[in-house]
Amino acid sequence: MIEVAGVTRRFGDFTAVADVSFRIQAGEIVGLLGHNGAGKTTLMKMITGYLEPTSGTIRVEGVPVSEDPSHAQSRIGYLPENCPLYPEMTVLEYLDFQAGLHGVPESRREAALARAIRLTELAPKALAPIHTLSRGYRQRVGVAQAILHRPRILILDEPTNGLDPTQILHMRRLIRDLAKEATVIVSTHILQEVQAVCERVIIMRGGRKVVDGRLDELQRASGLELVVDRPLEVVRPVVEKLAGVLDIKLLTEEGGRFRYHLEAGMEQAPEVARAVQEAGFALHGLCPEKQDLEALFAEVQSGGEVRHVA
C-alpha cells in the first residue's frame, strides 16, 4: 500500500531524511518512533505529498506521489503535529469546511460529518466555537477532519502530544477503532504510545531508519532468567553441562538471591529447574527473559546497530 524506496530529503546542507526504505501493507498499524528531530515529520510530509523528496520514490497504491500527489492525498487522512484550526468557527462549521476541501460530495456531506463526530465523540461540542475547546477536544477535531473522506490510510503525527492521561486513553481507543477500517501510521517520540496501539515499529535516528520490525518479534524471548541462592562459581558448572545452555551471566545479586541470564531456549527450562533442585539450590525464579523495547530504543538512539526483524 505504501512503498518508500531510498528516500532522502535535504534542506540546504542539512539532511533531514537519509536513504529511508520500507513497505507498509494494508491493515497494518505502524509506529514511527524517534526523538524530536529524527526526521519523522519530514517523512510524513513526503508520504502525504506536501513535501518533495530530494531523491528516492514514494508510492501509494503503486502510484508515485511525486507524479500524482492528489491520488495519495485522496486516500490519506493526515493529522499534523500542530493541526491548523480556525478558532472562530464552530466544530461543525470547521468540519463542513474541511469536508469540502476533501471533496466530499454534498449528497454525502451530512453522513460524513455525523460519522466523524460520532467516532471522535464530539457531539457535546459540535456547536461550540473551537477557541473554547480544551487541548484534548482540539485533537479530536483534528482527527475528525482527517477521517471525513473515509481514507484508506491514516497518518497521525504526535496524536497524544499535550494530552492528559484520560485524553490519552481516549485517543488510544480512537486509534484502535479507526484501524479497523484503515492502515494507520502513528508518528511519535513517546515509546508508550507505540506499545499501546501499534503492531510494528520503525525507529528513526538522525534521519535514518535503524529498526524495523513487529513488536512481538522485537520483544520475543531472548533467553532464560534464573534466580537461585548460590553464586556464579557454584551455579555455572551445574547449568553449563546441560544440553542447549550456551552461557550464563550474573545480572544482579540482592539479599542472597542471584539473578542470572541463561543463553538458552524455553525448551531447556524443565532441565534447568531439575538440575538446580537436584544440586540443592533454592529456586526462586525461572522464566523467559524478554527483550525490553525501552532498552532497545535507548540502545539504537545512542548509536546501536541497525536491525530489521521480518
Boundaries of CATH 3.40.50.300 in the chain?
2-218
Which parts of the chain have pLDDT scores under 50? Answer: 306-310
pLDDT, position 309? 46
Residues β-bridged to residue 17: 9
The pLDDT, as a whole number, for residue 299 is 73
pLDDT of amino acid 49: 92
Q: What CATH class does 2-218 carry? A: alpha beta
Contact between 278 and 235 under an 8 Å Cβ cutoff? The reply is no
Q: Are 197 and 180 in contact (CB under 8 A)?
A: no
Q: Write down the pLDDT at residue 221.
A: 63
| Nearest CA among 142, 176, 134, 147 for reference residue 159 | 142
Domain with CATH 3.30.70.3100 in the chain: 221-290
CATH of domain 221-290: 3.30.70.3100
pTM above 0.95, yes or no: no
pLDDT for position 291: 67
Rounded percentage of the chain residues whose pLDDT exceeds 70: 96
Q: What is the pLDDT of residues 126-165, one digit of tens each?
A: 999 999 999 999 999 999 999 999 999 999 999 998 888 9
pLDDT at site 99: 96
Neighbours of 23 (CB within 10 A): 12
User: Which cell is 171 given?
Assistant: 485517543
The pairing of beta strand 257-263 with beta strand 221-228: antiparallel
pLDDT confidence of residue 153: 96
